[in-house]
Amino acid sequence: MPLPHLLRAAIAALATFTLVTSVTAQERARDLGVPFRGETGPLNAITDVEGIEVGHTTLIKGKGKLVRGRGPVRTGVTAIHPRGKNSTSPVFGAWFTLNASGEMTGTTWLEERGLVDGPILITNTHSVGVVRDAAVEWMVDQGWPAIWHAPIVAETYDGSFSDINGFHVKKRHAFEALRTATGGSVREGAVGGGTGMMCNRFKGGIGTSSRLVTVGKETYTVGVLVQCNYGRRDDLKQIASVPMDALQDAPLPCYEDPKLVPKSITSPLLCDDQENAMDKDGPDGSIIVVVATDAPLLPHQLKRVAKRPSLALGWLGAVSGDGSGDIFIAFSTAQNGKLQETSLSAGLSMYPNDDLTPLFNATIQATEEAIVNAMVAADTMVGINGFKIFGLPEERLRTIVGGHQKQ
């Protein structure tokens, strides 16, 4: 994209919202002693897969009563460049849906062709269209070699927490996430597309993790990034095989001011009435999982990898409810420079099918940890109509896993 266009986009965004694009030190699940399985990469992030860049644009504005078009706003965009923002080379990919109450654009073409062209973006449900249009414009401006584009844009719903029908995400916000994406540490929690999300009735959002896999003389990396917005409190049965019964009575999402509760909510939970709280039926939520690896997998093998986050959700206790959009995508950064449409007999490498199981294990392990990292990193936040979602109580989690290890 031309530099003046980017500068105008950044200036316009800064004038309207509080934007969060920098990375600062955050506590993660392993810092609390959670005994996850597997060996991580040096960053324990999707960016351990060489070349991947991640960017966020976080939109936070206003407080109090919901006024459509004005706020409060708690939303954003997350962008993932499989080969970095300066590359115009595709990657092999595949996708899988565990429950399809959600959206991931570009998947029919991905299914047919086995290639991911361009970036992968995640946002809120009602901003998929504008973010998809921004991704197309980005690809045109960057010179991606095709006459039309069908980029991957996924979503989860933040309408319980943000003015989703105010359509606050604009193309400039997607451009900002794409432009500022970098390698290195990835900011987690209530950032980017995950700003307004809730996970197991705790504050949720973006989380990431990675695993190293040695097969023969080769060591490969599997990285995962999630946008976590699924699950009831009683769905969280265990973390790293440690029972989570002692988390069940942690404060549930609630309304701070009874005067701000929408009339459509007939029996709201008020924050000063937590003693009588029950995890009542509500939206099932959703989760988007992005799996990356540098192992030379072909599309049919990546399809098998893309199914494995389902097992991580099962480890934690999720049931993938009727209204949950649980959609996963996997890609390989191998074969760089060999996947252009004009390449003939490119001499591709193929990972042995018989050795896929270690990659399956790594995907499951990294997905579980990424989900927990999302909850650990996300602090308590108040959204529309004084609706408050509490962060996962970190010291209680530390005590739970510490006590379990002493048994």
- Catalytic residue positions, numbered: 286, 324, 326
* Token reading at 183: 């390698």
DSSP one-letter string for 300-330: HHHHHHHHTHHHHHHHHT----TT-EEEEEE
CB half-sphere exposure, 334, CA atoms < 13 A: 19
Q: Which residues pair with 58 in a beta bridge?
A: 76
Cβ atoms < 10 Å from Cβ of 357: 11
Please report the DSSP string for 104-129 in residue order: BTTHHHHHHH-EE-S-EEEEEGGGHH
> Helices (DSSP H) in 287-393: which residue ranges?
299-307, 309-316, 357-377
Q: What are phi and psi of 350, to 5 degrees?
A: -135, 125
Provide the token pair at 169.
């995400």
CB 155 within 8 A of CB 127: yes
Q: State the greatest distance between any 2 C-alpha atoms of the chain, in Å, as a whole number.
A: 68
Question: Among 190, 202, 201, 252, which residue's Cα sits nearest to residue 227?
Answer: 190
User: In Å, how far are 198, 221, 255, 363, 392 from 286, measured between CA atoms?
Assistant: 9, 26, 22, 19, 18
CB 55 within 8 A of CB 180: yes
DSSP letter for 137, please: H
CB under 8 A, 24+ apart: contacts of 392-399: 392/202, 392/203, 392/247, 392/250, 393/247, 393/250, 394/27, 394/32, 396/246, 396/247, 396/250, 397/29, 397/32, 397/34, 397/239, 397/247, 398/32, 398/33, 399/246
The values of phi and psi at residue 169, to 5°, are -75, 125
